[in-house]
Amino acid sequence: MSLIEYLLGIQDEKIFTKVEATIHKSFKSIKPNDIVFTKEDIIKRAEFSNKQIKKGHTLSQKELESQSKNW
């Protein structure tokens, strides 16, 4: 089972909130220069994005702006 599948299966809101908070804290310590993507990584991310779009899992500009305030 992948991490994403595991996270999708979490039913307890308290646990999910703790996991989410931990992830946000770790992202704050990462600098853009620390992130390196291979060509394969970029292709996988693009394919995943295309699948999400086809499923209708998208955000409006307002929703994205609202979410990005918490980054």
Q: Which structural domain range is residue 15 located in?
A: 1-33
- Within this chain, do residues 28 and 49 fall inside the same structural domain, yes or no? no
Same domain for 13 and 44?
Answer: no
- Please tell me the predicted confidence (pLDDT) of residue 70: 78
Q: What is residue 26's predicted lDDT score, i.e. its pLDDT? A: 82
CA dist., res. 13 & res. 33, Å (int): 33
* Both structure tokens of 13: 């809101």
Q: Mean pLDDT by 10-residue block, N- to C-terminus, for the chain (71 residues)?
A: 80 86 82 81 94 91 86 74
Cβ distance 41 to 50 under 8 Å? no
Q: Does residue 27 sit in the same domain as residue 46?
A: no
Residue among 11, 24, 33 at smallest CA distance from 70: 24
Residues 22 and 43 in one domain: no
Query: Residue 31's pLDDT is what?
Result: 75
Which pTM was predicted?
0.44
| pLDDT value of residue 51 | 94
Amino acid 49: pLDDT:
93
